[in-house]
């Protein structure tokens, strides 16, 4: 039996789906992976091949909207899938879900699944009723692809509701909400919280994200400016990189934040644990997520959380228990919650312990994968 995963970004296969593929491989399935731009990720390519997986490069532009390129991609996927003859296909992110599912249907793959891991640029402002021509096109393609999938997985109930409200899903289409991609709690040990000179917990905040406007990076930077003016000993850490995305922040903005000493910038990390270890509170002011993996990793390491009361984010925090939920785009809310932690460091310890408990009970990757395997009929 053959299992094919289609992705738009090779590193995410290892980082977000590695344990899922491991579990499927353990059931005796031959694993095939399709993704673009192998030359950019030699290390990930090597690791996946060392696991005995078959890799197939595809001509996909992750962020491009050229119809001719996308038609070429569909044709290539069709030919490759026909050659592989998989029994199961799981696609995630926009282009793999759309073109991977359509190609799998054309090839008549017996079991076709789509995983919606977040909505991104193609769904910005749609709830306000504003849709660009590009968005209407993407949504129409989504509807056609999902019609041809056997089951659609979502990482939070809000995304599922939005797809239903927008009629991108037939009412009869089987859907499942899973607890994100999960986190391998064994890899994220609880480490001591950083201390200040007088032996109390240091107010050290951290954001890990692609440096996009809709991740709330600007709100985080502005909160850092305000807080540091009042509490100069507080620290603000930032991990991430500038993406070729329409909502990316500029290098000039980032340079300004570093120059005025409001942020300690780590760059892009392949292992985020050292940065989490240096922090006491994890902050993600994102406008919308599937389920944010960085939050789960920080929770597994026993960190209190500040995140937005937004789809995908709100599921990770029980307000006042393991952290705080703030309004989307609200710098005032962020500043207020940061002050709570600075004024009462005991909150950091208490909420960090609750975070670890929630990570163990709700987001353990093995539980999440067991749920997905059962829903795909892989036992």
Tell me: the pLDDT tens digits for 282-309?
Answer: 999 999 999 999 999 999 999 999 999 9
CB 120 within 8 A of CB 158: no
Give φ, ψ of 188 to 5 degrees. Answer: -125, 85
Alpha helices in 118-216 (DSSP H): 133-147, 157-165
Tokens of 64: 């491009």
Architecture in CATH for domain 185-362: 3-Layer(aba) Sandwich (3.40)
Alpha helices in 175-330 (DSSP H): 217-230, 251-259, 273-277, 293-300
Strand bridging mode 323-326 / 304-308: parallel
Burial class of residue 281 (count of CB atoms within 10 Å of its CB; 0-12, 13-18, 19+): buried
CB 128 within 8 A of CB 134: no
Given this model, what pLDDT does residue 243 score? 79
CATH superfamily of 2-182+364-376: Glycogen Phosphorylase B; (3.40.50.2000)
Tokens of 196: 């200040």
pTM of the entire predicted model? 0.90
Given this model, what pLDDT does residue 64 score? 65
Given this model, what pLDDT does residue 125 score? 74
Over residues 145-203, the pLDDT tens digits come to 999 999 999 999 999 999 999 999 998 999 999 999 999 999 999 999 999 888 789 99
For the chain, which residues score pLDDT lower than 70? 63-65, 127-128
Given this model, what pLDDT does residue 76 score? 97
* Cα–Cα dist 62/56, whole Å: 16
* Cα–Cα dist 258/245, whole Å: 22
Domain with CATH 3.40.50.2000 in the chain: 2-182+364-376, 185-362
CA-wise closest residue to 265 among 310, 220, 203: 220
Given this model, what pLDDT does residue 244 score? 77
Question: Three-state SS string across 263-287, please?
Answer: CEEEECCCCCHHHHHCCCEEEECCC
What Å distances lie between residue 120 and 63, 124, 228, 230, 376, CA to CA? 11, 7, 31, 35, 25
CA-wise closest residue to 56 among 37, 29, 30: 37
Burial class of residue 291 (count of CB atoms within 10 Å of its CB; 0-12, 13-18, 19+): buried
What Å distances lie between residue 126 and 121, 143, 323, CA to CA? 10, 15, 29
Given this model, what pLDDT does residue 63 score? 66
């Amino acid at each position: 039996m053959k299992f094919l995963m289609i992705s738009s970004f090779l590193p995410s296969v290892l980082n977000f789906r590695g344990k899922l593929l491991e579990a499927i491989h353990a059931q005796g399935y031959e694993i095939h992976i399709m993704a673009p731009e192998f030359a950019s990720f030699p290390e990930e390519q090597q690791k996946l091949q060392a696991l005995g997986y078959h890799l197939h490069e595809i001509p996909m532009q992750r962020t491009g909207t050229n119809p001719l390129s996308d038609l070429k991609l569909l044709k290539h996927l069709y030919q490759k899938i026909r050659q592989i003859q998989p029994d199961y296909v799981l696609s995630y992110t926009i282009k793999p879900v759309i073109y991977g599912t359509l190609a799998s249907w054309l090839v008549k793959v017996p079991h076709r699944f789509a995983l919606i891991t977040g909505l991104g640029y193609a769904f910005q402002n749609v709830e306000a009723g504003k849709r660009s021509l590009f968005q209407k096109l993407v949504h129409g393609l989504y509807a056609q692809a999902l019609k041809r999938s056997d089951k659609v997985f979502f990482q939070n109930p809000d995304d599922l509701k939005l797809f239903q409200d927008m009629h991108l899903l037939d009412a009869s289409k089987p859907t499942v909400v899973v607890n994100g991609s999960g986190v391998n709690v064994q890899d994220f040990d609880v480490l001591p919280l950083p201390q200040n000179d007088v032996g109390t917990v240091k107010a050290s905040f951290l954001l890990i994200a692609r440096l996009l406007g809709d991740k709330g990076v600007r709100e985080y930077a502005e909160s850092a400016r305000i807080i540091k003016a009042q509490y100069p000993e507080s620290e603000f850490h930032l991990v991430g990189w500038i993406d070729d995305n329409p909502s990316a922040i500029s290098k000039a903005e980032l340079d300004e934040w570093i120059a005025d000493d409001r942020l300690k910038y780590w760059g892009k990390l392949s292992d985020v644990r050292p940065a989490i270890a240096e922090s006491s509170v994890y902050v993600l002011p994102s406008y919308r997520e599937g389920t944010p993996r960085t939050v789960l990793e920080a929770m597994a390491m026993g960190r209190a959380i500040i995140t937005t009361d937004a789809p995908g984010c709100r599921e990770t925090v029980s307000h006042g228990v393991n952290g705080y939920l703030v309004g989307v785009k609200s710098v005032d809310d962020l500043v207020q919650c940061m002050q709570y932690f600075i004024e009462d460091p005991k909150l950091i310890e208490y909420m960090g312990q609750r975070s670890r408990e929630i990570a163990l009970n709700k987001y353990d990757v093995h539980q999440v994968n067991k749920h997905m395997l059962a829903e795909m009929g892989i036992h």
